Chains A and B, each alone.
Chain A
Amino acid sequence: MKNSEQTILSARGIGKTVKSGSSDLVILREIDFGVIAGEAVAIVGASGSGKSTLLAILAGLDTPSAGTVELDGTDIFALDEDARAELRGRAVGFVFQSFQLLPSLTALENVMLPLELAGRTDADEIAREVLSRVELGERLAHYPKHLSGGEQQRVALARAFSVRPKLLFADEPTGSLDAESGAGVIDLIFELNRGFGTTLVMVTHDEHLAQRCGRVIRLAAGRIAP
């Protein structure tokens, strides 16, 4: 990073329209904003306002109907899907509401997965180290179904941070958790955000959590509310 004021993510004129039956359904329209490296941004809004859709577009998981997204200096929709996947592998981490751990892999193996996919030979050591940072150093060989929700989400966090991403996208990371373990996960996210200098883009329903982020973007009916 040359400059701490560098814009790492910028969205320009994002629109998303889907066909629903015979009519077109507009989910997002004319979304414009930028995120500076190291920042923590919350996206909030009512249910159905398009938060998840926006996040998926920002991360290059979904394609917009209009507009461009520049991620780490690259116009991601000028790339094909495979190139976007490679970019994700290099620069982006994810945490989801439903954890999305692979049930047939142990905690350790789940964390190793992105490292292995990137062809790292030190996947095992790194994964152990990150897992101990999320205080799961003792549960390496456990399968997801034997871990509590909070523990599963911490494994997911460890997986996201294991590749030292520049950007972490989180879609309601505490949505499936009770208040206490949710708070634990959030503390961890901010700790890692600070510790690794990772930029954080988080969708949440939780106003209190949103306030802990440096900036809040409000969505209403597919637009950024003033």
Chain B
Amino acid sequence: MKRRLRMLAQGTRMLGRDWRAGELRVLAAALVVAVASITSVSFFADRVSRALVRDAHQLLGADLVLASDHAWQQGVAEEIARRGLERAQATTFISMAITGEPGGPASQRSQLAGVKAVSENYPLRGRLRIAPAPNAPDAAAASGPERGTVWIEERLVTALGAPVGARLKLGNASFEVAAVLTLEPERGANFFNIAPRLFMNLADVPATGLVQTGSRVWYYLYAAGPREAVAALESWARGELGRGQSVENLESGRPEVRVAIERAQRFLGLTALLAAILAGVAIALGTRRFVERHLDGCAVMRCLGATQGKLLWVFGFEFFILGIFSCTAGVLVGYGAQFVISGILGELLRADLPAPSLLPALQGFLVGLVLLLGFALPPLVQLKNVPAVRVIRRESGVTKSGTLAVYAAGLGALAALLIWQAGDFRMGAYVVAGFAVAVGCFALVAWILLRMIASGGLVRRLGARSTSLRYGLANLRRHSRGNAVQVASLALGLTAVLLLTFTRNDLVDAWRRSAPPDAPNRFLLGVQPDQLDAVKQFFARSGLGAPDLSPMVRGRVVKLNGKAVSAADFAEERARRLVEREFNLSFAERLPTHNALVQGEWFAPGEDGLSVEEGIAKTLGWRIGDELSFTVGGEAFSARVTSLRRLRWDSMKVNFFVIGPPRLLERFPSSYISAFRVEPGGEPLINDLTARFPNLTVVDVGAALRQAQSVIDQVISAVEIVFLFALGAGLLVLYSALVATEDERRREAAVMRVYGASRAQVTGSQRVEFLAMGLLAGLLATAGAAAIGQLLAQRVFELDLPPSPALWIAGPLAGVLLLSLNAWLSARKVLSASPALTLRDSV
């Protein structure tokens, strides 16, 4: 014990001395970068996943919603207050809204509205958004409408000709239009078959005289507060529910936001993985250099009586303490960065994120220590094997034993940790395996090419003209193994840098394009089959382009493989909801262009089948070959699932969970639906449309679209921060790879000069060698970055990435420039010092 303590003390002293000598800075920097990127991302992911749950509550308007088709018994409302929870109330019903003087029918306009009467503190979670006029910038409303006023959707404004300030009548009461409603979170994405929304104050409802027994009215109670209290209320309420009453829970949320955030988390996770592995490489390279520089010192220490075990412990402690300090610094940096990321995403995630938990710090710390152990230990272990006789005979080298096995173990442990951290086995495995393959390929290709470049014939033919060229090429051949390693590490660092600059830009652009600025901003619902031609003509005449009208059949799933399906079969709330509701089914001959088949075949002509969205299939446990039975308006049909599709939720196009061939679904009553785009100022067209076809409904999804776009923009800026870490790690790898052979080259140059080589010859031969290596590393890195970019785009992000010519120019150029700069710098170092000094330094 006392001996261990002494070694710990010795390790600490050595740490101080090596730190002072600058031997450990790259190592420490690599560790800090790795830990910082891992922790910032997992801190952030941790907070976001908790925020997403809350976000879902905002869609609900509360933590818990109780719905009833008749007025709530007094006890329930009181119970909410009694449990110390916030409470809000709402009532919904359909009513005719009328403008103009009752006496003058000419100016009188009316429109069916979906009325929602709310208590002033509605919603308890999230905010309603309102604007002073259609298309004017909107803002969050502090509370629901005041008494005597209503907020109406744009559709109502145009249909009723009732701008802000106008008056309209609901039943027996008259109201002032106080604002245009732009966003009702609770309504989210399910705006189908809902009349345009009108918000009013709950206290005004009796005056309208509209709510009488027998009218179709829903009563809602909202509750919000601490999780445990809400959960307790929920279980209590479930026991109290009578007929026509239900507890409403989390809806699946806005799919476009979910997609963006999931993608961002994948982006972030991947970048952090990349940073960690790159840092690992920098650590391995840095440690190798450290070991080479300490071989003599260790031999001396062995002479002075240090046993192998002692050396191992002392260096082990030295690195361990270094690890503790660097990892702590990394966690702190990561914690700070996470605040910046959350700041950028603050608006997206709404106000206060839940405080970060400690788990990410622990994860980052562990990753850092494993990195250090896995990548520094194998070379470090060599130090103890230095024979003491090296002090007398310098060539006495180190017997290398089993370092590869130790590396493999380290890499394995790291992979396990990273996969645990990323929480995504497939992606983690992709990255780790892809990385190992890339390193192997780089080294192999570099080695073969270097030997080819330096092959005898070439050297003789070119070398006849210049000694520098001959020496340079000969050096390439002589060092081919060491150079191959160096080129591979350079290529690796460069790949990371290229990936994070060029490819990242392309990826981000592709991502932005996924929600293009000309995406549809209106949905058209309820087109009857006999109106199709007329509607199409209207669109053509108005210059709105041809609408892609998709048929929609509403049906309920009743059986799976002959067995009845009920909500009770599912634990997941989303699954229950899906099963309880009517599905929007569609039929089509061909696969919609914005969908992609991921499994199975599209229907062959003349065959029945169903194509299902892969997410819903997963949620509901449907597989290819399962037979599904639906009822549509009392009639039933069955078909097998023949394919799974992937949708672009953020494309803002019309999407269907289930599609069948026309022959299966055509016979059912259907209506058509379309997404289209109206430029600002095009509202009168919409009014013309609804005036000509009064049964049609036009839904404004512009707000949702704008939101989706701002989500993507914010997410992208957050991702960029983590990119910086990975970029830093990539640069560290580059630096470590460059200095890896510096000592040896300096010694060689000094020897050459002692034997009379001119400065020009020395620099010339090094320049040739570096140029070849730079070009090679640049080409390898470019190919690597292009390949990885494509793989990521297609497999992980589901985006199309066009090939980038800029990358193919910049990559090789960067390699050549980098190594030329390095050649110039190292030549200056070597030549400015006298050969004697260099040699003395290096013995």
Report which A residues bind B (CB closer than 8 A).
Answer: 52, 55-56, 59, 61-62, 81-82, 85-90, 92, 94, 96, 98, 100, 102-105, 109, 113-114, 116-119, 145, 159, 163, 171
Contact = CB atoms under 8 A, between A and B. Distances in A.
Interface size class of B (residues with CB under 8 A): 20 to 34
Contact of A89 (B6, B306, B393, B840): B306
Q: A-B pairs with the 9 shortest C-beta distances?
A: A89-B305, A104-B21, A82-B307, A114-B304, A61-B388, A102-B297, A62-B389, A61-B389, A119-B6
For A82, A98, A104, A105, the residue with the greatest tally of chain B CB atoms inside 10 Å of its CB is A104
A118 to B, nearest CB: 7
6 contacts: A82-B308, A87-B305, A100-B300, A116-B13, A119-B6, A159-B304
B305 A52 contact: no
Contact of B296 (A61, A81, A100): A100
B107 to A, nearest CB: 93
A102 B300 contact: yes
Nearest to A110: B300
A119 B18 CA distance: 20
A104 B17 contact: yes
B841 interface: yes
Interface in B374-407: 387-389, 391-393
B3 A117 contact: no
B391 A100 contact: yes
Contacts of B387: 61-62
A145 B18 CA distance: 16
Given A104-B18, A113-B301, A114-B305, 17 more contacts: A52-B392, A52-B393, A61-B389, A61-B392, A81-B308, A85-B306, A89-B305, A89-B306, A96-B392, A100-B299, A102-B296, A103-B841, A113-B304, A117-B301, A117-B310, A118-B305, A171-B392
B306 A119 contact: no
Nearest to A114: B304
B802 interface: no
B307 A86 contact: yes
For A55, A82, A102, A105, the residue with the greatest tally of chain B CB atoms inside 10 Å of its CB is A102
Contacts of A113: 300-301, 304
For B13, B302, B389, B392, the residue with the greatest tally of chain A CB atoms inside 10 Å of its CB is B392
B391 A94 contact: yes
Nearest to B841: A145
Given A61-B392, A116-B10, A109 B17 contact: yes
A220 to B, nearest CB: 20
B297 A90 contact: no
B307 to A, nearest CB: 4
A92 B391 CA distance: 15
B476 to A, nearest CB: 28
B667 interface: no
B305 A88 contact: yes
A85 B307 contact: yes
A117 to B, nearest CB: 5
A88 B392 contact: no
Interface in B285-317: 296-297, 299-310
B300 A117 contact: no
Contacts of B301: 113, 117
B843 interface: yes
Contacts of A159: 304
Contacts of B306: 85, 89, 117
A145 B838 CA distance: 11
Contacts of A163: 304
Contact of B309 (A52, A82, A89, A119): A82
A145 B305 CA distance: 25
A119 B3 contact: yes
B24 to A, nearest CB: 10
Contact of A85 (B10, B13, B305, B389): B305
A135 to B, nearest CB: 22
A109 B392 CA distance: 22
Main secondary structure of the interface of B (DSSP, over half): helix
Contacts of B307: 82, 85-86
B590 interface: no
B541 interface: no
B227 interface: no
Contacts of B465: none
Contact of B20 (A56, A86, A104): A104
Contacts of A55: 392
A88 B303 contact: yes
A113 B841 CA distance: 20
A204 B619 CA distance: 85
B305 A117 contact: yes
Interface in B182-235: none
A175 to B, nearest CB: 12
B23 interface: yes
Given A89-B306, A113-B304, A105 B389 contact: no
A165 to B, nearest CB: 10
Nearest to B388: A61
For B20, B299, B300, B308, the residue with the greatest tally of chain A CB atoms inside 10 Å of its CB is B300
Interface string B21-60: 1010000000000000000000000000000000000000
A60 to B, nearest CB: 8
Contacts of B13: 116
Nearest to B3: A119
A85 B13 CA distance: 21
Contacts of B843: 98
Given A98-B843, A104-B21, A105-B17, A117 B389 contact: no
A94 B23 CA distance: 27
B305 A56 contact: no
A88 B304 contact: yes
Contacts of A56: 389, 392-393
Contacts of B299: 100
Given A82-B309, A104-B17, A104-B23, A117 B392 contact: no
A114 B392 CA distance: 18
Nearest to A105: B17
A93 to B, nearest CB: 8
A52 B6 CA distance: 34
Contacts of A52: 392-393
Contacts of A118: 305
Contacts of B303: 59, 61, 88, 94, 100
A66 to B, nearest CB: 17
Nearest to A162: B304
A114 B23 CA distance: 22
Contact of B391 (A81, A82, A96): A96
A86 B306 CA distance: 7
Nearest to B19: A104
Contacts of B20: 104
Contacts of B302: 85
A119 B1 CA distance: 13
For A52, A86, A113, the residue with the greatest tally of chain B CB atoms inside 10 Å of its CB is A113
A59 B843 CA distance: 22
A104 B387 CA distance: 21
Given A61-B388, A104-B18, A117 B304 contact: yes
A89 B300 CA distance: 11
B84 to A, nearest CB: 64
Contacts of A94: 303-304, 391
A67 B347 CA distance: 82
Contacts of A117: 10, 301, 304-306, 310
Nearest to A93: B304
For B13, B17, B388, the residue with the greatest tally of chain A CB atoms inside 10 Å of its CB is B388
Contacts of B17: 104-105, 109
A92 to B, nearest CB: 8
Interface in B829-843: 840-841, 843
Nearest to A112: B13
A118 B310 CA distance: 11
B388 to A, nearest CB: 4
Contact of A90 (B10, B305, B308, B388): B305
Nearest to A96: B391
